[in-house]
Amino acid sequence: MVITSDMRTYFKILSYAKPLGKLMSGYFISTLLNIVFGLVNFSLLIPLFEILFDKNKVVQHLQAVHEFPKFQFNLRYCKEVFYHYYCSIIQKYGDLGALYSMCLFFLVAVFTANLFRYLAVIIMAKIRIRTICALRQKIFQKIMQLHLGYFTHHQQGYIISKATHDVHEVEYFVVNSLKSLFKDPIQIISFFVVLFYLSYQLTLFTILILPVAGFCIGKIVKSIRKKAKKGQESMGRIVSILHETLFGIRIIKAFTAQKNMIKKFKKENDHYARTHISISRRHELSAPISEFFGVLVVVIILGYGGRLVLQAHAPLSASEFMVYIILFSQVISPAKSIVHTISNMQRGLAAAHRVFDLINTKPLIQDHPTAKTITHFSEKICFHQVTFAYEKQTVLQNIDLTISKGKTIALVGPSGGGKSTLVDLIPRFYTPQKGYITIDGQRLENYTLQSLRSLMGIVTQESILFHDTVWNNIIFGHSLAVTESQVVQAAQMAYAHDFIMQLPQGYQTLMGERGIKLSGGQRQRICIARALLKNPPILILDEATSALDTASEKWVQEALDCLMKNRTVIVIAHRLSTIQQADEIVVIDQGKIIERGKHAQLMQKKGLYQQLREGY
């Protein structure tokens, strides 16, 4: 069952190398011809040795071969055809001419074998590169499709490790193993066919020891598999710690927590080291074991084969015995390669299982088969008895809320009350466990995700920018048909154009990772320009000014006021002074709507809103 599962995984990996059939047929033909001409090389050694060391054999061939042999589909026919021409050369050019001819044939066979070997390697490189590129692309596409909840429950470093380290393990230990699992077995079988032809008694005698070696190595491989899985998990945790450290380096230094982080990293790093030392011990044990059994078999060949040669009526000539030993020495190398590959593959297959766990993850939120496209927003958004929970923690309870077109709705309340979760339900980042949400009378599930989200612009507390130019960050998600005047107009409305023009390359200035080269207020105005360029009918502002200083907030608030004109706006406000003019203020606490109304009405109630207002 384990073998079947591993082979299924192995072929699943190779299926990414499309068109695999055409590549594999080319690899098969090139490999087969490489092996055939390789065997021809060794077969030519017999007449060479006979010319140099065994004149009696040459004489016997000359006496036995007179006419061109009749066709038979076997190795004997090939041998008789060869000796027919071989004897003709001896008769015409003598022993020296035959020696030179054999040397020339040998050289041509070696060149041809290596030519096909080169072609096989090139085809294998194509298979490897296409497989890994397609696999990495599939992982990235899956990451783009997954719902936000997946990223809430999985560390970013864990996901990055699968897309980088695990894919590298698959490339190095699985895809590169195709040669050993395909070529080497064919090569071994071909060699053994010739060995049986030379001496079936000697060959049968020598292969009796092989099952013992296979049993010992199989035990080692099984233990490597268990350790490899633990090693992959440990590497994922290391990447996660590294990612968290780089992201929070300011906080780590501010709280002088370097020693704690170093200790945490060292603990996981030491665990990784111990795991891989254990893997190495088992892995390296397979090589000496296979080496020992290989030498043991050669010793048996020398003892038993020498006895056959020294018999009165020897079934095996000295030249044939010499070639037999050379051929068998060639069997040891691919056999060791197979053993080495199988032990290595356990690491690659462990990584592959982790990669496919990600690829096979089904997004909890996706388009319904009958979903249709929504092109405009004309009436209202309604929450109908909506309840939502993160696993067992209920965040929203029985929410009933109507957001009419053109109105500004402000959500306020204590931290952790569920405000951000509520707005995340509108673009279907999450799906409620109970109740439902409608837009223009239709449930959100009835619309495609892409068309639904195209109606919405989102500006969050954290300015999400990418390591790219200012221009590309503003047009992010838009078609290439956006004009320069449209981009500049959006930047001007966001009060961003002036500072952009002061940058070294203006709109073509690289912003650095997360826009680190800009101030917080500048980053936020770039995000607002991006939303303005999209020109969405529905705007979601999630505490868009809470992280800014007073001077930056002034500029950003003016940009937001421009952005909010003639739109339906849902705003989460940290500073309550910014939402006094909202058409309706909704107070949320512990997942429930406890107050709602205009600013003046809520102040008269002297409830939670007033307490929050007076607290700022």
**pLDDT band (50, 70, 90) for residue 123:** confident
Which is it for strands 568-572 and 584-589: parallel, antiparallel or unpaired? unpaired
Phi-psi region of 555 (alpha: psi -120 to 50; beta: other; left: phi over 0): alpha
Domain check: are 481 and 517 in the same one? yes
Helix H or strand E segment including 53 = helix 45-53
Q: What are the pLDDT digits (tens) for 358-375? A: 888 888 888 888 889 998
> What is the model's pLDDT at position 2?
44
- Contacts for 64-70 with beta carbons within 8 Å, 24 or more apart? none
Instruction: In whole angstroms, give the CA distance from residue 365 to residue 450.
Output: 12
N-to-C CA span, the chain:
65
Q: Can you read off the two tokens belonging to residue 449? A: 């995700």
**pLDDT band (50, 70, 90) for residue 53:** low
Decide: residue 579, CB within 10 A, 0-12 exposed, 13-18 middle, 19+ buried: buried
> What is the model's pLDDT at position 219?
60
Boundary (domain end) residue, out of 359, 388, 403: 359
> What is the model's pLDDT at position 530?
85
**Domain assignment of residue 76, yes or no:** yes
**Domain assignment of residue 312, yes or no:** yes
Domain check: are 354 and 471 in the same one? no
> What is the model's pLDDT at position 71?
63
Helices 20-43 and 184-198 sit at what angle, rounded to 10 degrees? 30
Domain check: are 355 and 415 in the same one? no
**Distances from the Cα of 373 to the Cα of 144, 423, 452, 476, angstroms:** 20, 21, 8, 22
Q: What percent of the chain lies above the pLDDT cut of 70?
A: 72
> What is the model's pLDDT at position 588?
92
Domain check: are 401 and 349 in the same one? no
Q: What are the pLDDT digits (tens) for 172-206? A: 766 667 777 777 788 788 778 877 877 777 777 66
CB 529 within 8 A of CB 496: yes
Which of 6-10, 216-220, 534-538, 567-571 shows the lowest mean pLDDT across its residues? 216-220
Q: What is the CATH number of the domain that holds 253?
A: 1.20.1560.10
Task: Output the CA torsion sign for 140, 141, 144, 150.
Answer: negative
Average pLDDT over residues 244-266: 70
> What is the model's pLDDT at position 444?
92
Residues 303-326: b if buried by 16+ CB within 10 A, e if exposed: eebeebbeeeeeebbbbbbbbbee
Average pLDDT over residues 489-504: 86
**Domain assignment of residue 322, yes or no:** yes
Average pLDDT over residues 22-43: 78
Domain check: are 301 and 449 in the same one? no
Average pLDDT over residues 543-554: 64
Phi then psi for 436, rounded to 5 degrees?
-160, 165
Q: What are the pLDDT digits (tens) for 200-246? A: 777 776 676 556 655 665 565 556 555 665 666 677 677 777 766 76
Q: What is the Cα gyration radius of the chain?
A: 37
Instruction: In whole angstroms, give the CA distance from residue 265 to residue 310.
Output: 67
Sequence length of the chain is: 616
**Domain assignment of residue 186, yes or no:** yes
User: Between these two residues, 107 and 544, which has the higher pLDDT value?
Assistant: 107
Domain check: are 159 and 235 in the same one? yes
Angle (CA) 245 247 249, round 5°: 60
**pLDDT band (50, 70, 90) for residue 1:** very low
Q: What is the CATH number of the domain that holds 568?
A: 3.40.50.300
Domain check: are 384 and 355 in the same one? no
Print the domain residue range for 461.
Answer: 380-614
Q: Can you read off the two tokens belonging to residue 543? A: 């505490």
CB 543 within 8 A of CB 572: yes
Instruction: In whole angstroms, give the CA distance from residue 546 to residue 477.
Output: 26
Domain check: are 394 and 262 in the same one? no
Provide the 8-state DSSP code for 431. -
Average pLDDT over residues 136-164: 79
Average pLDDT over residues 296-309: 73
Asked if the model's pLDDT at residue 143 lies above 80, the reply is yes
> What is the model's pLDDT at position 68?
64
Note the pTM of the prediction, 2 decimals. 0.67
**pLDDT band (50, 70, 90) for residue 77:** low
Asked if the model's pLDDT at residue 301 lies above 60, the reply is yes
**Domain assignment of residue 232, yes or no:** yes
Range with the largest mean pLDDT of 92-101, 142-151, 584-593:
584-593
Domain check: are 408 and 508 in the same one? yes
Domain check: are 103 and 231 in the same one? yes
Position 72, amino acid: Q
Domain check: are 312 and 402 in the same one? no
> What is the model's pLDDT at position 574?
66
- Please tell me the total count of domains within the chain: 2
Domain check: are 352 and 393 in the same one? no
Average pLDDT over residues 435-442: 92
Alpha helix ranges (H) inside 495-537: 497-501, 520-534
Alpha carbons within 13 A on the beta-carbon side of 369: 0
**pLDDT band (50, 70, 90) for residue 434:** very high
Q: What are the pLDDT digits (tens) for 389-419? A: 887 788 999 999 999 998 989 998 888 888 8
**Domain assignment of residue 366, yes or no:** no
Concatenated DSSP letters for 435-468? EEEEETTEEGGGB-HHHHHHTEEEEESS----SS
User: Between these two residues, 61 and 448, which has the higher pLDDT value?
Assistant: 448
Asked if the model's pLDDT at residue 481 lies above 70, the reply is yes
